[in-house]
Structure formats: C-alpha cells, structure tokens
Structure 1
Amino acid sequence: MDSTGAPATARGSRLTRRGVTGRAAGSAVLALAACGAPDAGGGAQKTTAPARISVITRGGGDGTGMEQVIIPAFAKQHENIKVEHASLGGEPDYWAKVVTGHLGKDLGDVVWASNGGFSALASRGVMKELEPLARSDKYDFKDYVPAGLDSLRHEGKLFGLPWGGHPGYQGLLYNEDLLTKAGQKAPDASWTWDKLTEVAKAVSRVNGDPNGDVYGFKPYPPDYLGQIGAVRGNGADWLDKEGKKFIVSSPGGLAALNMYRDFFVRHRVAPPLGGPVPDADLFAQGRLALWQQGYGGQFTPGEAKIAGKFKWGMVLLPKGTTGKVGSQLVVNGMTMWSGSKAPDAAWQFLRFIMEPDVQLPAILSGASRPGLRKSVLRHPKLASDMKAHTPWVDLMEQASAWHQPANYRWAELNTAIGQTLTPAWKGDTSNEQALQQAMPNFDAIMAKAREGFV
C-alpha cells in the first residue's frame, strides 16, 4: 500500500509523505466501508482524551493502505483522535531515518517495524513496552499466534503487534493445464521432493531458448527464507540456537541446498538465475509449471495477468526428512515510540489495526499479509474469497518465531548467502566448496557488533 494525496508533513519537515496512487487500496476503502465499524478485541476500548498522533511507515504499499483505508476508518470511530501519516521511504534507509528521528526526539507515535530491523530499534530504546498498556486496557492476547508475539519481543518484553506476517517462501504455485498436458496431476499435500522432481522433469522442455523453453520448476533463489523450508524440514538450520554460529553445512543442510542446486544444474528443470524473462512472465505465459512462492504469490502474477488462459492454484512445498515443512515467521510489526506524548491514543490505534474487519480489505486486495490473530487467519471470508489462503493457515499458526543472528545482522547475512550460493547454482562450483570458501566471511559477519543503523 503506497501513500496517495498531496504532500504533507507530520511532526517536522523530515517526515514527508510521497504521493502515489494505489488501486488496491482504493478498492479496500470500499470494502472496509461495507464491513462497518469493527468490534474491539479483548475488552472495551477506553474513552481517550482529545489527542493528535502520527503514524510512520516505510514507503510502498504499507503507506497507501494506512492513508486510504485504515486512518479514515479509525477517524470515524475516534473523532477525538487526529491521525497523520508519514512515509520514510524504503529499506534499508528507513531504519536509519527512524533511529535519527528517535535520537532527535522527533518521531511518530506509531512506528512500522518488520523483523529485519525490529530488534536493533528495540535495543536502542526506540519503542515503548506494550503489555502495561494492554493490562490497563484489559486487552486479551489469547487470540494471537504466540510465535507472532514472540517475534516482536525484545529481552522478554513485547514491543509490537503482528500487523502482518508470513512463514517464509513455502508455497508452490502451479499451472494445472501444463501439468495435465504432460500427463501429471496437480500437486497436493502427499507430494514429496522426489515427486516434485519427477514431475518437473516430465514437464520441462529446455533447449536453451529463453523465449520458448518450458520449465518444470522454479525454486526460490539462494536466500535464508527461501530455503528454510527444506533446511529445517531436514532437521538442520542456518544458525545455531543462540544465533552466534552459521551451521548450515551440516549433512541435513547440505542435502537441502544440493537438492536446490540440482534443479538448476543436474536436472535442468529451472529457468536460469538472472535469466532474461521474469518468472512472473514465464508463469503467466504458460511456460512454468511449478513455482516456489510466498503467501503473496497468489497475487503475482495473479488472475489479472493469467486472464483465464489456464487453471492454476497453490499448495505448500513438500515436507522434508523430518515429515515437516520448515518455516520461520516474518512479521511486519506496528510499534509505539518510547517518546510518544499520547500513548493512550497510540494504543487505541494499535489495537484498532489488528481487528479482523480492519485487516480483511487489505489482505483480500493483496496489499498486506494477514495479521497474526486466529480470528483473522481463520476468517471464513479469506477462505472463501482468496485463491490460496487456506493451505497457509496451519503453517502460519505453527511456524517458529523469528530467528536471526545475535547481533541482528540478518540482512547482511542473507546478502552473503545469496552471493555465496549463486555461483554454485549456476554450476560454477559446488555448494560445499562455496560455503567452505565463504566461512571466514560468515564468521566475520557473526562476530560484528550489534546492528544499530546509525
């Protein structure tokens, strides 16, 4: 959700929003109006004294939905609380701007913070603890996914609400017509990785022509969250429990990574990394049978581009040797600035954005991932109106909490994973050799001081 409208400021000239149109957010406005005012969750809302608060988000879709959908709906229920919004642009610059605002005592009352930067902000005192406010308001967290809340804790204290989340890129988008043409059936929960490989080989017609080849399977490129399903599904992990050691070179971890490499190098069923045709175009053109995607993959390319040319759907990836699909929650949290002068009003806004009727329009439009509450995840409208919401629900509720390096340098580590494994998946070296040569770099990243952004 991108912001839209004329330029405005909130709490100083630094917090300037960008004007961008957003059709998804516009349709969400109508949907939310149709829903009516949401009921409060877990206790009656307090009557709050007149106040003015500002909400800070990164650039892009989060801002549009905030301005066009959520803030107008909140204003109808809370006429005594005036809300302004400001976008601070994209990551990673967003994080430095938040820290700079905090240090300068000029930041919004409500601050967007995903897991990628949450811990670094919390360690610097940017955020206010939420549980005392919740207790005072008699707010009940029983409906929340526990790991979603745990993903927004720092040193045991809750500093954010899980406004949106997903369990990593554990989805499998499929072209049913392309599979049927090759004599294969659509994937289901019984599929193994061996079955996926067999089907991908049966569908593929690869002769080196990027404009005509048909590919059986496009795995996610080398990425912490892209391979965590297979790595953890094999009982391995990228990091040790304390987040201080890089341990993916265990037998289970290497088996998972070698399986991914084989799709590109040995079986040749995958489009080349960095190829000339974007994956979304390949799928929409009917030249990609199976495509590893996240929850949002049901919108990209989506029916808007497929336009009825073939039947398609989405299931989860196969289980690993442990009998499970590995996962890790990735949470877009909404937090409160520790310097807020209107914490009661900010708290009312935070609890409002977690209500199912507020959440639904943005989720249905593809502008946001679901808030991690059972009443949101198991809402019947998501099951009935979305192409592939239902397969994800159990995994979202059961996924592990966010896990990262102890020094919070997850983004740096993930970049190094991609740089290390990409040559191997292009056939230039093996995973074993690539990881062995890169271990000094991984060790150096893990040994750095805590990420602070400024």
Structure 2
Amino acid sequence: MKLKNGKMRKMMTVSLAATMALGLLAGCSGAKTPVSNQEKVLRIGVLYGGNMDDSYFRQQYTDIYEFDRKNVKIEIVPAINQSDWRYNDGSEPYKEPDYLDGMKKIMTGSNPVDVVVTDVSVLKQLIQENMLKQLDPLVQEDKFDTSDFVPAVIDGIKDLGEGSLYALTPSFSSSALFYNKKLLSDAGVEPPTDKMTWDDVFNLAKRLAKGSGKDRVYGFSFNRYMGNDPFWDMQYTYMAPLQLRMYDEKAETMTVESPQWIKAWDTISNLVKEEVIPNNNNVNYDENWTPISNDMFLSGKVAMMISESYYINEIADANTNAAKIKDYTPVDWDVVTLPTHPEKPDIGGNIYLNNTFAINTNAPNPESAWDYIKFIAGEDWAKLKSRSNSYEMVARKSYIQPRQGLSYNIGAFYNIKPVPPTNPKDDKLKQEKRGLYYVENLGRTYFQEVLDKKKSSTEALKDWSEKGNKMLQEIKLNPKTEFQEDGTPYIPEDNVSAAAGLSSKG
C-alpha cells in the first residue's frame, strides 16, 4: 500500500455513456435513496485539486451519484490547492505540501467536509487522531455486504484501524511478477509460482540470464524500463516489506548497520554484478528504434519483471500490432504474485489504495456521507467500472475479470497482503528537514561503490552510517541545513535569517 507516487493523478479520459448510467437508475448498490427529498449539499474533501478543474474526480466518483440522487449537490474541497505552486513565479521557494495538515484543516472549522478521500498513509494518521467515524456499526445496521471485497484490500484497511473499519475503497492498483513463457521454456526453467520467496525467484533468474552485449537477456528486473536504478528499486520493492529504517524516528541516528541491511545489499549488488539484474550502466541500447525499444519485457531483454496491472493493456496492444513492429514476436506471458521474504510471509504486494472514502467525525451530513460511500463501494459501481477502468482494479472480487478477453492468473494481483503504509510522520519530518533527502541519497553513492567492487556491503554501510550521523547532527542543530554533493553543510539563502534567529536563541 505504498504511496510515494500515489499522489500523482493517473490522467485518463473517462466516458460516462448514457447507456451505462441508465442501468443505475433503480438505485446503485442496493442502497436506499434517502427518504427526504430536501436538497442537500455533500462536501467531499480530497488530497489535492484546483479551484476550477475537478472534472476527473467527478467523472470517476460523483457524476453518477448525483444523477441518481437528484436532491444531492456535491462540492469538491481540496486539502492542497495545486494552483498555489502552479502559479508560483519563483519568488517563493517551493515547499512540499503537508497533505495531512491540509486535510485536517478542511475537516474542522465552521464548514467541515462530510466525506474524506485520501491515501492510506494519511488515513492511518486520521484514524489515530480519532478524526474519522467508525463504519462497522453502519455496515452491520444496513447489512452492507463487505464479504466480496478483495481480502488484501478490506483487511489492509482494517489493519490501519487495529481491526476496525474506518473507510472503504471502490478500487485499487497492484503489481505482480510477469514472466515470458518462451524464454523460460527455451532455457528449460520451470515457471515461477505464487508466493515464492525472493531467493527462489532470484535462483530462477540466474538460470535465465544469458548472452552478452546487446544480445544479453536478464533473468529479472524490478521494472520494464531500460534506465534501471537498482538502489531505489531495492529500497521501494525488495526491502519495503521488511520495513527497514535508514535512521531512527527522530532522524538523529543512522540504523543501516544491521544484518538485514547487509544481506539486502549483498543480495542485490551480487545480482547486478553478475548481470542477472540490469543496471543503467550495463544495459546496451538498441540503435534501431521501435515503439517497444525502451521496454525490456516486450523487447525480450528480460525474462521476469515486476509491473502494474494496467501493463496488461500495453502487452495486448503490442501483440495486436505485432506486424507493425520491426522484428517483434508477440509475447506469451503470465503472472504470479510478488515474491515474499521468509521473515514476512504473505506480505509483499505492491497494492496501492489511492482513494479511500471515510466519514469525518465532524460531518454536518453523516447520513448522506454514508449513503454516498455505500454507493461508491457497492456492487453496481463495481460492475460498471470493471468495464471502463483500465488503470485500477475494482475492489469487489466478483467483478474482477481478465482484460482484453485474455486468460491469465489474475489472482496474482490481489492474493497477497500489501506492504504496510509509510508513516505520515516520516513524510512530515522530511518536509521540515529537507537535508534528510541528502542523507538518503548518499546511500546511492555508497551502493555504487559496492557495485564497482570498491567496498563490501558491510564497509559501505558503515561509511554511510558514519557520514550520515554527522549530517543528521547538522540537521538537528539547524533543521534548515542542506548539503552539497560532497556532504558539506550549508543553509539556503532564504533560510539564513531564520538560522540567525535560531543561533541567537542558543
């Protein structure tokens, strides 16, 4: 359930054809239309948006509801106004927005929002601060069926509330391990299976890697793109289920000198050095460009790789247009769940819940808010969106079907528990202490030294820890501290006066 890039909109055109809407007139989700015909305003708080353009969110989540509930008018209220940075003339330094703080502001005050739509990291903090209404009593009272929800989705949300339900979501996005059947068959390698360990997958990858130069076929890749960065790939995918920290919760002490960190660096660096995993420095680009040149999986340069569910559309599109692509043979493929670590069995899914719907405890219209959430998380919405949503999967299992009329292991995208969300306090810490970015990115430099065989993982992690501790102390003395490439601390000009004020206070 990660969200580093989850806050970025997946822009697409959504057509709400009249024929689809008519099927919902009898009342979506089996939910009863409120008895009162009095006109109501339902205010929905979202993480970000603009003053004028909320068409994407409305097309996705509210137009059909308003069409069915004639007496309800919906207002979209963004926690962060994107226009603030879009029209920044540069006179003000860019500051990463605080989504949690912004959401809390629109949930309180004289005109609070009724419904809260957010990602799981912000959702978790709102639950912990008792700002959301528990949904379990409402679910029981209305006999709202949640048994059809994908377990990884519904259980993942319940885990945030320590077993209680504070939100529902109509859809999710997920990743799986794609594999090229022909490359495996030619190498005499058995296909991967669901819930394999990372070590098992890497052992298969070693048997699949072959060739040299531009003919090199890699056994495994963390993504399909030519430009791979194994350091960040390792951080966000391989190490994420282990929840290893670079530094403590106060950002005062490095925590990378541990057996788990050493094992992770040893494992991935060895695979890169053996060219089992591609690295931007060892990939040979084909000079003859084709529409699939930058895609390592479609171009047959990698046998197994991780990608999102919507990638299926791209494979299908390429295979359909194979005759138009020079030297391209349609890929015969399938998927299995992402690998897991023995110490974290069943956890490893890159399942993203970008839009969870909850009720503000201060909601002026809690009944209408619950009616809306029942609607958006109901069966009729899932049935409709299972035909039109190509970027996410609906959360109800009954309506999850293979795309493009294909046959593949679709359960691979949801039959595994998601990685727990990041703590929003960590994100806020990075906003307040921008120098932490340099501490983190320094690890990439030391990891490269391991790849270059200049240092062992143990030595590199020790050096990173020592240098990082010095940088963390500089940040502790002055949170405005940033660093040059060589690690030399400095205070940006915009913060010099603030720094002087801190010094005078001693």
Same fold (TM over 0.5): yes
The aligned residue for residue 112 of structure 1 is: 117
Note the C-alpha offset of 1:216.
2.8
The aligned residue for residue 326 of structure 1 is: 347
Deviations 1:264-304 (A, max 9, x none): 223453232898979962333333322123444435x4423
Deviations 1:165-194 (A, max 9, x none): 467x5x211233444455545433496634
SS in 1 for 2:168: strand
TM-score, length of structure 1 as denominator length: 0.68
Residue of structure 2 aligned with 1:159, choices 153, 166, 169? 166
| AA at the equivalent of 2:332 | K
The correspondence of residues 90-101 of structure 1 with structure 2, limited to 5 A, is: 93=97, 95=99, 96-101=101-106
The correspondence of residues 167-182 of structure 1 with structure 2, limited to 5 A, is: 169=175, 171-182=176-187
* Cα pair distance change 1:384/1:114, threshold 3 Å: same
How many residue pairs align between the two structures? 406
Deviations 1:414-452 (A, max 9, x none): 97896365345531555444544555869979x99xxxx
* Cα pair distance change 1:40/1:67, threshold 3 Å: closer
The correspondence of residues 302-451 of structure 1 with structure 2, limited to 5 A, is: 302-305=315-318, 307-308=321-322, 309-321=330-342, 324-327=345-348, 330-332=352-354, 333-362=356-385, 365-371=389-395, 376-379=396-399, 381=401, 385=405, 387-395=408-416, 399=417, 402=420, 404-405=422-423, 407=425, 409=427, 412=430, 419=441, 421-423=443-445, 425-426=447-448, 427=451, 429-439=455-465
* Contact 1:179-1:203 at 8 Å conserved across structures: no
* Residues 1:298 and 2:322 aligned together: no
Measure the CA separation in 2 of the matches of 1:190 and 1:109.
40
| AA at the equivalent of 1:164 | S
* Cα pair distance change 1:293/1:50, threshold 3 Å: same
* Residues 1:73 and 2:64 aligned together: yes
RMSD across aligned positions (CA): 4.9
The aligned residue for residue 43 of structure 2 is: 54
Note the C-alpha offset of 1:74.
1.5
The aligned residue for residue 211 of structure 2 is: 205
Measure the CA separation in 2 of the matches of 1:119 and 1:419.
27
More divergent stretch after superposition (413-422 vs 332-341): 413-422
* Cα pair distance change 1:380/1:135, threshold 3 Å: closer
* Contact 1:32-1:69 at 8 Å conserved across structures: no
Note the C-alpha offset of 1:349.
0.9
* Cα pair distance change 1:350/1:416, threshold 3 Å: farther
Measure the CA separation in 2 of the matches of 1:30 and 1:204.
53
Deviations 1:54-93 (A, max 9, x none): 3343469x96664224322212332222224456567963
Extract unaligned runs of 5+ from structure 1: 1-18, 449-454
Measure the CA separation in 2 of the matches of 1:351 and 1:92.
34
Identity score, percent? 16
TM-score, length of structure 2 as denominator length: 0.62
More divergent stretch after superposition (174-183 vs 66-75): 174-183
* Contact 2:117-2:357 at 8 Å conserved across structures: yes
| AA at the equivalent of 1:289 | A
* Residues 1:271 and 2:279 aligned together: yes
* Contact 1:227-1:257 at 8 Å conserved across structures: no
SS in 2 for 1:263: helix
